[in-house]
A and B are shown apart, each in its own frame.
Chain A
């Protein structure tokens, strides 16, 4: 008889996630009062990036599918937002209604592409999927050039300025208002994503990642789970792209290059694959480190400064990427200051077979073997398990 894997989380778990999400969002909103306009702009950029990176980290970390096309998804969200907003401006809608409808437009566009790509992705294994998403990122600029009438080529689309609502106009500056919107959107999107990741679907994603065959034998529809993961990640990326378009009042293919797509992968990996708090740290890092390097190299001669400011952050991120994958795999989110008791036990008796072999065999990597525990819940046979 096939037993389906049951989620271990409860209703209380998702309630706690929503509380946490709300609390962090309120703290971030309050923090905008302490920052100057430029810092608020950076905070807004980090929030927009965070949406996309959070989606990517769930896609890669939980469902095990690597996409190099997250920037393309952001671009689609941004273009969806800009086209909807411009159409609404044309018929005289503005203010909050325009923003909300345009957000829906952006998310719908990226969600649709994500669904199509997810259907393709469910049939593909790792390297094939990575290559296909790489080709999609490369194709963004040619598509905008070829359909120049809609997307206006390399110059991209501009949207009308959203001003601060009159009630708040005396209280906060434009940049702070934009940061508020970006933080609110990120808060809603990421909280929804975290709830998904902690639900039964998230459990099924991790089971599919660890062993697809075993997951199918346990009654998980792995194809559908992969599509859901792709859809969730593209919707969050689309929201991020729409917010980025709202902040900068423009969207152009130059902002969503292959290099930026790789940066999003860097943020997810350095933060720790599968960890949403890690995604926040990673997003802050990929926004702030290039800016810091530019500041530091300003004193140097012009040509040297230009070469260093563009390339030094990429060099550092590349080295960090290799370092994280070659060592801990948990990234920033995995840094603990207390030694973990389970590892100590393994170190003290490396040879003796443990009674709970499934737990002791667990690699120190980010993968908790959800399914192994479920499948091997039968009493273990006296002979050693072949692995």
Chain B
């Protein structure tokens, strides 16, 4: 029973990170109708920037801010510099170019920093608090869940109650009409990429202290989990990303804790396959346009 509660709490904390990363994929999907397979590599660059800043300044918080800024800048650079080179509605070209970006970024980081894992320190204790005899969340887990909740709430407020949020939604759902009404659609797409890349960088930054550390392939699994969560949640739905993220986090932690840690990726694959076969566009997705 103790283990059940502990695994559940840990799962929620991991799930919050997955949900954040999935949310970043949802943001790009809503802004530009593509799945950005380079999101993990972009977040990794931000994590390296944060690592460098934290090492140089000694402050975790300076690293956190650096990660957000670096993430946003990379988002702009990728969207304006590379993604504009391919036609917007060509999924195949978009994915292949994203793979190219992954290869370029990861190999550059490998050349600059080498293949070794560089551990990142958590700002709080990461051993679990004891409630009575039961181990529960660690302070760092609580920090992760709080940050994730605050970020999601802030994004929700931004999209729902501000003028720029309205313009972002308008540009995503009806680009032609919005342009006629004076919304600068290309700028909105860029802002979408900025927000999305910054959120992904935040997720990667939060994850690093709980893993081995930063390494040129440290975000590969985060991308796969984040993608699975985003798809299970339905790519259109931020709420779906949250629910699916927490669910996947808890399920994966249970599988790792009770059966075997190596089984987690297999469990994820089965889950993804099952969801895609039953609903090819995800659980919370909107109805697809009729094709015939």
Contact = CB atoms under 8 A, between A and B. Distances in A.
Interface in B91-106: 91-93, 95-97, 99-104, 106
B110 A321 contact: no
Interface stretch (B10-18, B177-185, B202-210, B221-229): B221-229
Interface string B254-278: 0000001011111011001100110
Nearest to A313: B107
A234 to B, nearest CB: 16
A306 B113 CA distance: 12
Interface string A122-139: 011111101110111011
A269 interface: yes
B29 to A, nearest CB: 9
B103 A315 contact: yes
Nearest to A308: B111
A134 B265 CA distance: 11
A160 interface: no
B291 A212 contact: yes
Given A127-B95, A135-B269, A143-B266, A318 B228 contact: no
Contact of A326 (B34, B95, B97): B97
A320 B221 CA distance: 25
Contacts of A124: 276, 280
Contacts of A315: 103-104, 107-108, 111
B45 interface: no
A146 B266 CA distance: 9
Contacts of A269: 96
Contacts of B281: 125, 128
A304 to B, nearest CB: 9
Contact of A128 (B263, B268, B280): B280
A125 B115 CA distance: 35
Nearest to B34: A127
B85 A322 contact: yes
Contacts, number: 146
Most chain B C-beta atoms within 10 Å of own C-beta, residue among A262, A266, A329: A262
Contact of A138 (B95, B221, B280, B291): B221
Interface string A200-234: 00000000000011001100000000000000000
A314 B114 contact: no
Contacts of B114: 303, 307
Interface string A275-311: 0000000000000000000000000000100111011
A139 B106 CA distance: 21
Interface residues of B, number: 48
B99 A265 contact: yes
A273 to B, nearest CB: 8
Interface in A114-160: 120, 123-128, 130-132, 134-136, 138-139, 142-143, 145-146
A142 B93 CA distance: 30
A328 to B, nearest CB: 12
B263 A66 contact: no
Interface string B21-45: 0000000000000110100000000
B82 A312 contact: no
Interface in B156-203: none
Contact of B273 (A120, A127, A130, A217): A120
B6 to A, nearest CB: 23
A319 interface: yes
A306 B106 CA distance: 15
Interface string B108-144: 1011001100000000000000000000000000000
A319 B264 CA distance: 33
B220 interface: yes
Contact of A135 (B96, B106, B272, B291): B272
A143 to B, nearest CB: 6
Interface string B71-100: 000000000001001100001110111011
A310 to B, nearest CB: 6
Most chain A C-beta atoms within 10 Å of own C-beta, residue among B35, B111, B228, B291: B111
Given A139-B266, A142-B262, A123 B277 contact: yes
Contacts of B110: 307, 310-311, 314
B264 A132 contact: no
Contacts of A262: 99, 102-103
B111 A265 contact: no
Contacts of B37: 130-131, 134
Contact of B101 (A127, A145, A322): A322
Interface of A: 60, 64, 66, 68, 120, 123-128, 130-132, 134-136, 138-139, 142-143, 145-146, 212-213, 216-217, 258, 262, 265-266, 269, 303, 306-308, 310-312, 314-315, 317-322, 325-326, 329
The 5 A-B pairs at the shortest CB distance, nearest first, are namely: A318-B103, A321-B100, A126-B91, A326-B85, A318-B104
Given A131-B37, A138-B224, A314-B103, 19 more contacts: A60-B92, A127-B95, A130-B35, A131-B272, A132-B276, A139-B269, A303-B114, A307-B114, A311-B106, A311-B107, A311-B111, A318-B99, A318-B102, A318-B104, A318-B107, A321-B100, A322-B82, A325-B93, A325-B96
